[in-house]
């Protein structure tokens, strides 16, 4: 068993999501939003965010991962599950759990932009800017965190802890 040290409480998270949704509602007034949830980590955040959005919303899901070169945005994107729907002409927001090196999102964004959405912004619950290797910024960021490995609220360590209602730093315990 690992030890999880609570870093961001459930109330802090839901308060922040309400703030982010209020900003999105303002920014997208009169438009329809197409949320692109990045599986699996973005799922908990995406649901709570979508519940608080008051302009018309549709939701689609994709699962992607990247294999980096270590420097720059020259890594490769693996699409494990692509979107079900076309995004051409739609106002899209990518909903992600965390931006770390930024490689996954910069590659995913490039792929999606080639499909000609009306607009494409990024909304992330967490940002870990210390480890960034590409220039990518989210328009909406919940919490900026230090360079620690965290789990909970959708984020996993070896597929565990996604169900924790809070976000905590993982202290790895050797067997
Ligand atoms: P990036 O391409 O380095 O930005 O990778 C981001 C992905 O790595 C996220 O979508 C997460 O799935 C995973 N990741 C990065 N940092 C953490 C962490 O602290 N805990 C859990 N997953 C993480
Ligand atoms: Mg992820």
Q: What is the dihedral of CA 3, 172, 99, 108, to 10 degrees?
A: -120
Strands laid side by side in the 150-151 sheet:
3-8, 167-171, 150-151
Mutate to test the pocket of ligand 1, among 74, 143, 155 (most ligand atoms within 8 A of CB): 155
Given this model, what pLDDT does residue 67 score? 79
Contact 134, 122 (CB under 8 A): no
Contact 8, 166 (CB under 8 A): yes
Given this model, what pLDDT does residue 31 score? 98
Contact 60, 32 (CB under 8 A): no
Please tell me the residue having the least CA distance from ligand 1 atom 3: 101
Q: Is there an atom of ligand 1 within 6 Å of 149 CB?
A: yes
Given this model, what pLDDT does residue 172 score? 92
Given this model, what pLDDT does residue 72 score? 52
Contact 24, 93 (CB under 8 A): yes
Structure tokens at 47: 């649901």
Contact 63, 77 (CB under 8 A): no
Given this model, what pLDDT does residue 75 score? 80
Contact 61, 87 (CB under 8 A): no
Per-residue pLDDT tens listing for the chain (175 residues)? 899 999 999 999 999 999 999 999 999 999 999 999 999 999 999 999 999 999 999 999 999 998 765 555 568 999 999 999 999 999 999 999 999 999 999 999 999 999 999 999 999 999 999 999 999 989 999 999 999 999 999 999 999 999 999 999 999 987 7
Given this model, what pLDDT does residue 71 score? 53
Q: How far is the CA of 25 from the centre of ligand 1 (A)?
A: 27
CA distance 83 to 117: 13
Q: Which one, of 97, 96, 102, lies nearest residue 161 by Cα?
A: 97
Ligand 1 atom at minimum distance from 101 CA = 3
Catalytic residue among 2, 60, 84, 100: 100
**Is 147 an active-site residue?**
no
Given this model, what pLDDT does residue 155 score? 98
Please tell me the residue having the least CA distance from ligand 1 atom 11: 98
């Amino acid at each position: 068993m690992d030890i999880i040290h609570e870093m961001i409480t459930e109330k802090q998270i839901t308060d922040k999501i309400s703030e982010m949704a209020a900003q999105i509602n303002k920014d997208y007034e009169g438009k329809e939003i197409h949320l692109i949830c990045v599986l699996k980590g973005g799922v908990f955040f995406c649901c709570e965010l979508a519940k608080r959005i008051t302009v018309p919303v549709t939701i689609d899901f994709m699962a992607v991962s990247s294999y980096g070169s270590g420097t720059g945005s020259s890594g490769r994107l693996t699409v494990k599950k692509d979107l079900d729907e076309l995004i051409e002409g739609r106002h899209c927001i990518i909903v992600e759990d965390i931006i770390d090196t930024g490689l996954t999102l910069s590659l995913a964004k490039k792929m999606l932009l080639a499909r000609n959405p009306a607009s494409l912004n990024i909304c992330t619950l967490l940002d870990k800017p210390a480890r960034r290797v590409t220039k990518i910024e989210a328009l909406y960021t919940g919490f900026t965190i230090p360079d620690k490995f965290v789990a909970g609220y959708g984020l996993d360590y070896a597929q565990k802890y996604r169900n924790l209602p809070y976000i905590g730093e993982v202290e790895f315990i050797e067997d």
